[in-house]
């Protein structure tokens, strides 16, 4: 049985990559990963690990018309000839299909037939790419997370409760773990709001009218995630990436748009929806949990990591986690609102 984590430790399992003031580990990270650079050489838009670079180099005869790899400067620059959104998106579509056929990147075995978006400059769609390739490029990814909850005034016992989803056992990532009520990646060409509506119906069978009447925007969470910290066998310390650090070590900048969705336990004559319900194979069930039960599950590692910080943020905003009750309140808040220096949505 695992030892319960502190809320700061839960947060550090999501915002994992080092900050610039952490001199030795940041130097390791910055000097051993490759920058993905725009076609005009003006902007870094992603970080690629050496393991992926080796795959690219094995197939460079095909890839070199799209990207220029400089192993000395540790850069991957998009070809200057790819000077339109259409050309870049077509190029990354061809890259994804080609690499999928090589069977050398496990991430592409989870092919989604969904497009994620890279921005440059901010607010401008720079290119689209198959969702399963995005983590290998280290570009910023976007999603929505919805906290379904019952406020005290709508609860039978006067206590706030949360609707918590359990991920399907057939999910390729984090099967069987607890999840936020509704969550999903923002795929092109859907807007943030479109994604909220789409995922609410697909995952929880909550219709548009109910969502529109009961949802509220609650900000964004940003962090730099990697599933596994790269460690060195050469005494170099953590985050010294080598070719042996595989896909479990992808660099994943993420931005999640957070929403709160009210439900009620009270009987109402006009009630059409009392809670989320299974509507696809993404979720195996929903359960109503107290604040205490939810926090215990968070600390015991029962939640998908980034969903755990969505719960922490929710309970901070609702006053259940306070500066008085949580000694690391400020550091937690900083780490779930990390500045990511890439152009954004």
Sign of CA dihedral 300, 154, 284, 210: negative
pLDDT at 235: 79
Residue 295, both tokens: 């926090």
Q: What is the CATH number of the domain that holds 247?
A: 3.90.79.10
User: Does position 269 have pLDDT exceeding 60, yes or no?
Assistant: no
**pTM: predicted TM-score of the whole model, two decimal places:** 0.95
**Is residue 7 assigned to a domain?**
no
Residues 315 and 203 in one domain: yes
pLDDT, the chain, mean: 96
Residue 310 to residue 260: CA distance in whole angstroms: 11
Residues 112 and 158 in one domain: no
- Kindly report the number of other CB atoms within 10 A of residue 281's CB atom: 10
Q: Band of the pLDDT at 128, cuts 50, 70, 90? A: very high
Residue 294 to residue 292: CA distance in whole angstroms: 5
Residues 50 and 119 in one domain: yes
Q: Give 5's DSSP letter.
A: P
Q: What is the CATH number of the domain that holds 66?
A: 3.30.750.160
Residue 201, both tokens: 């119906």
Please state the domain count of the chain. Answer: 2
| Average pLDDT rounded to a whole number, residues 309-317 | 99
19-28, 170-179, 270-279: segment of lowest average pLDDT: 270-279
Which tens digits make up the pLDDT trace of 38-76? Answer: 999 999 999 999 999 999 999 999 999 999 999 999 999
Which tens digits make up the pLDDT trace of 197-215? Answer: 999 999 999 999 999 999 9
Residues 259 and 329 in one domain: yes
**Is residue 343 assigned to a domain?**
no
Residues 194 and 149 in one domain: yes
**Is residue 15 assigned to a domain?**
no
Residues 285 and 206 in one domain: yes
User: Of 102, 137, 172, which residue is a domain's last?
Assistant: 137
User: Does position 100 have pLDDT exceeding 60, yes or no?
Assistant: yes
**Residue-wise over 24-45: b if at least 16 C-beta within 10 A, else e?**
ebeebbeebbbbbbbbeeebeb
Q: Which domain holds residue 103?
A: 33-137
Residues 124 and 42 in one domain: yes
């Amino acid at each position: 049985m695992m030892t319960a984590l502190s809320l700061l430790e839960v947060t550090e399992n999501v915002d994992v990559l080092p900050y610039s003031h952490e001199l030795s580990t940041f130097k390791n990270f910055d000097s051993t990963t490759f920058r993905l650079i725009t076609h005009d050489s003006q902007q870094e838009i992603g970080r690629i690990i050496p393991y992926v670079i080796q795959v690219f180099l094995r197939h460079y005869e095909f890839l070199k018309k799209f990207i220029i790899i400089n192993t000395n400067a540790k850069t991957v620059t998009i070809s200057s000839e790819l000077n339109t959104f259409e050309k870049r998106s077509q190029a990354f579509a061809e890259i994804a299909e080609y690499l999928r056929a090589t069977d050398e990147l496990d991430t592409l075995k989870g092919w989604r037939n969904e497009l994620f978006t890279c921005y440059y400059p901010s607010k401008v769609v720079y290119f689209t790419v198959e969702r399963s390739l995005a983590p290998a490029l280290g570009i910023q990814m976007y999603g929505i997370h919805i906290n379904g909850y019952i406020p005290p005034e709508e609860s039978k016992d006067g206590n706030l409760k949360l609707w918590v989803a359990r991920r399907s056992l057939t999910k390729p990532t984090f099967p069987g773990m607890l999840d936020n009520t509704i969550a999903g990646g923002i795929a092109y060409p859907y807007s943030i709001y479109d994604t909220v509506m789409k995922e609410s119906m697909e995952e929880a069978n909550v219709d548009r009218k109910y969502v529109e009447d009961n949802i509220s925007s609650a900000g964004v969470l940003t962090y730099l995630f990697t599933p596994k910290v790269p460690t060195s066998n050469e005494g170099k310390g953590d985050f010294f990436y080598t070719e042996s650090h595989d896909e479990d070590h992808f660099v994943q900048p993420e931005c999640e748009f957070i929403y709160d969705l009210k439900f009620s336990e009270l009987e109402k004559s006009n009630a059409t929806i009392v809670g989320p319900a299974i509507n696809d194979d993404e979720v195996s069930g929903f359960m109503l949990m107290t604040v205490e039960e939810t926090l215990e599950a968070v600390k015991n590692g029962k939640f998908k990591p980034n969903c755990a910080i969505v719960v922490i943020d929710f309970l901070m905003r609702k006053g259940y986690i306070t500066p008085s009750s949580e000694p690391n309140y400020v550091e937690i808040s900083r780490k779930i609102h990390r500045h990511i220096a890439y152009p954004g949505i």
